[in-house]
Amino acid sequence: MIEILEILANPNFWAATIRIATPLVFGVLGALLCERAGVLNLGIEGIFTAGAMAGWMAAWLGAGLWGGVLVAAVAGGLFGLLHAVLTVPLGLSQHVSGLGVTLLATSVAYFGYRTALPDVSSPPRIEPFPPLDVPLLSELPFFGPALFQHTALTWLALGMVVVVWWVMTRTPLGLAIRAVGDNPDAVDAQGLSVYGLRIGAVMAGSALMAVGGAFLTMAAFDAFFFGMVNGRGWICIALVIFASWRPWKALFGALLFGAFDAFQVRLQTAFGEEVPGQLFLMTPYILSIIALVVAARRADYPRALLAPWFKGQR
Amino acid sequence: MIRIEPREPSALTNVAVPVGAAVISLGLAAVPLALAGADILAAFALMWGGVFGSLFAFTETLTRATPLILTGLAAAVAFRARLWNIGGEGQLYLGALAAVAIGSGAVAGPAWVLLPLVMVAGALAGAAALVLPAWLKTRFGADEVVTTLLLNFVILLFVQMMLEGPLQDPMGMGWPQSAPVVEEATLPQLLDRMRLHAGLLVGLAAAVILHGVMTRTTWGLRMRAVGENAPAARHAGIPVTRTLLWVAVLSGALAGLAGVGEVAGLKGYLTADLSPGYGYAGIVVAMLARLSPLGVVLAALFVAAVFVGADTMSRAIGVSSYLADLVVATSLLTVLVGGFVARYRVVRVRTGEARQ
């Protein structure tokens, strides 16, 4: 009991929560954009990997940190375009296409890494995004190290929550995206392009996912490892259902997940002697499954999710 | 103005589309090969030699195809009923874990008892790993894509935990691996001095039996009806939930058997790196086979040949063997597009001007 209180009273725990949540915020927002437009994007796991690899590689080659983030976003957008072309105008199975994009993006990232760096045993490192000390606030006891010493990408993630929320609820574009995921016939009748809206939303969402991946190699760590995404993409697909496709709830879900994950790591150090470490490592995945089961009952899926739509056919 | 309209796919396309996808994806491998600075023709020749160059090379391909046939069948059966089982990898590992739990000395007996027991245990373990998400789907509506994917990670961690705990080989110098499978629980080898084992026969038999079940029995018809239109199937009096749960048992059992074959036929003991993604590759196999059980055998041979060929080529000229994953991923996307070409045609619609 004392151990648990000690964990919660330590600002490092809260800082870790936010650090773990950051890539998930990008991923859940990306999945949310795609699904709100009616397209399930199971390419997410591979797009995370491609973003992690492309962003890091660009920075390592001298494009600068923000140049790397941009490269990651473009790579994500391109894989998103592939998924969107297959699933929107061609109307192919979103499940199969998404898994195909994950396999393709992952193998492109791994093949590219191995081809560029054939002989390295320890991966080369970059100078990652530094923590930004918010003036004055970062000096505060407890709250300073917990909340106000994060990298620029964490602030970007928070900014993207606001942007996605604002676009989706306050702009005609957001209304159109939501409508195209609920009732594409109505959008078509308005003279808007169903294909254009869906392809654009999937590309933007995929770019966000890739930036989430870039956070891993450019802020959380400073190098690219095989298997480093480790199911984070799939967890985002579960979290977006938990968040009922709403941006603020997505932020909340990612933070809640980050807190559990940071907590289990600390429990592991406290109780690692008596309990096998794998039991702790399992908890994030099991929690995601539980969250999915709990949310599934009241889940209000976008009505046209998974349903292909062809112009001129009702 | 163009419009897309459906057409009946012809019998020819069922063969032409997968074959075309395989050829195109292999041809596209020239792009990464060129980017890696390799001599493309030499690389392809090396891959060919790695698969067909000798009897040993070919049996290696068959050995590699064995788990892919079983995970491919697992995916094909589930996808037919629109049960999106992406958990083949986890089911394979749980099957392998059950096999070593029983077959590594815990139970003693003659081969005619022990071998079937190990296989049944592995099949049941694989089935259990899919029945849980299938039940969560039918009972709570929890999307089985996500639950099966996440369970893969949970099961792999569970296997690691067992291999560092109760199932660790006491003679293994502390390595996280199981004790070796006893001789009575080992699948026999098919050829002298080759790694090919009886798991291949299990896979081939499963493919033939499944072909019969899916085309000739009421149960197979129900399964396809549930996949094609669940509400209509329910309306027609088919017990949809029960059918889905039985499909889960069958699909999970097939993937579990793949794990049994790998430990009891090939490796002889279990480690946490038993499978290089056979569960995920099984999905590609099933799609290349267009979900036909007999087609799965051919598709598994193709995917296995790509992996074995790329390994040989990689050892010889140093191009990363991730090339194989690239080819396999491309073939999945290509066969998907090919299926579209077979099912739809693009027609020009008159918009005032003369029809073309």
- Which residue in A201, A2, A172 sits closest to A87, CA to CA? A201
Residue B204 to residue B192: CA distance in whole angstroms: 20
Distance of CA A86 to the CA centre of its chain: 22
Q: Please report residues of B whose CB lies closer than 8 A to that of A115.
A: 32, 35-36, 319-320
Q: Are B222 and B233 in contact (CB under 8 A)?
A: yes
Q: For residue A150, what pLDDT band results from cuts at 50, 70 and 90?
A: confident
Residue A95: which of B84, B158, B320 has the nearest Cβ?
B84
What tokens were used for B305? 């040949």
Q: Are B282 and B148 in contact (CB under 8 A)?
A: no
What tokens were used for B232? 């209509």
DSSP state of B185: G
- Which residue in B303, B269, B266, B261 sits closest to B286, CA to CA? B303
- Confirm or reject contact between A97 and chain B (CB < 8 A): yes
Q: What percent of chain B has pLDDT over 70?
A: 97
Q: Residue ranges per domain, chain A?
A: 22-117+149-230
What is the pLDDT, as a whole number, of residue A269?
A: 80
- Which residue in A160, A156, A202 sits closest to A177, CA to CA? A202
First to last CA, chain A: 61
Residue A29 CB coordination number (10 Å): 29
Say if residue B145's pLDDT is above 80: yes
Residue-wise pLDDT for B279-298, tens only, equals 999 999 999 999 999 999 99
Report the complex ipTM: 0.91
The mean of the pLDDT values for chain B is 90
What tokens were used for B345? 């045609």
274-303 in A: which are within 8 Å (CB) of B?
A: 276, 278-279, 281-282, 285-286, 288-289, 292-293, 296-297, 299
Question: What is the CATH code of the structural domain delimited by B2-348?
Answer: 1.10.3470
- Confirm or reject contact between A99 and chain B (CB < 8 A): yes
CA quadruple B143, B149, B154, B159: dihedral, nearest 10? 140
Give helix B293-317 / helix B40-52 axis angle, nearest 10°: 120
- Confirm or reject contact between A243 and chain B (CB < 8 A): no
Distance from CA of B187 to the nearest CA of A (A): 31
Question: pTM, whole model, 2 decimals?
Answer: 0.93
- The mean pLDDT of B55-62, rounded to a whole number, is 92
- The mean pLDDT of A126-135, rounded to a whole number, is 86
Residue-wise pLDDT for A6-60, tens only, equals 788 888 899 999 999 999 999 999 999 999 999 999 999 999 999 999 999 999 9
3-state helix, strand, coil in chain A (%, to 5): 70, 0, 30
Residue A103: which of B140, B280, B337 has the nearest Cβ?
B280
What is the pLDDT, as a whole number, of residue A275?
A: 82
302-321 in B: which are within 8 Å (CB) of A?
A: 318-320
H-state helical runs in B262-346: 278-288, 293-317, 322-343
